[in-house]
Amino acid sequence: MEFDFDLLVIGAGSGGVRAARMSASMGARVAVVESRYLGGTCVNVGCVPKKLFVYASEYQEHFKDSAGYGYTVDSKPQFDWVKLRDNKTTEIERLNGVYQRMLESAGVQIIDGHAEFETAHQVKIGDKSYTAKNILIASGSWPFKPSVPGSEHVMTSNEFFYMDKFPKHAIVIGGGYIAVEFAGILNGLGCETHQVYRGEPVLRGFDQQVRDFVSEELASSGINLHYNSTIDAIEKLDNGQLKATYNDGTTVVTDAIICALGRKPLVDPMKIENAGLTKGHHGEISVNEHYQTSVSHIFAVGDVIGRVQLTPVALAEGMYVAHHLFSDKAPRKVGYDLIPTAVFCQPNLGTVGITEEQAAVKFNKVAVFDSAFRPMKNTLSGNPQRMLMKLLVDTETDKVIGCHMAGHDAGEIIQGIGVALQAGATKNDFDNTIGIHPTAAEEFVTMREPSRFVGLAVS
Task: Give the active site residues.
Answer: 437
Q: What is the DSSP string of 427-439?
A: HHHHHTSPPPSS-
Cis peptide before 201 (omega within 30 of 0): yes
Measure CA of the first residue to CA of the last residue in the chain; give whole Å: 66
Query: Among the residues of 117-176, which ranges form H helices?
Result: 157-160
Determine how β-strand 242-246 pairs with β-strand 251-254: antiparallel
331 pairs with which residues across the strands?
none
Q: How far is CA 204 from CA 176, 182, 207, 281, 368, in A?
A: 7, 16, 8, 21, 20
The three-class DSSP label of residue 88 is helix
d(CA 245, CA 153): 13
d(CA 45, CA 178): 12
d(CA 403, CA 326): 37
Q: How far is CA 178 from the centre of its chain?
A: 7
Cis peptide before 146 (omega within 30 of 0): no
Element (H, E) at 136: strand 128-137
Instruction: For the beta carbon of residue 323, count every other beta carbon within 10 angstroms.
Output: 18
Residue 189 near residue 154, CB atoms below 8 Å: no
Residue 82 near residue 213, CB atoms below 8 Å: no
Instruction: For the beta carbon of residue 336, count every other beta carbon within 10 angstroms.
Output: 10
Residue 275 near residue 298, CB atoms below 8 Å: yes
Residues 256/262/265/270 CA torsion (nearest 10 deg): -10
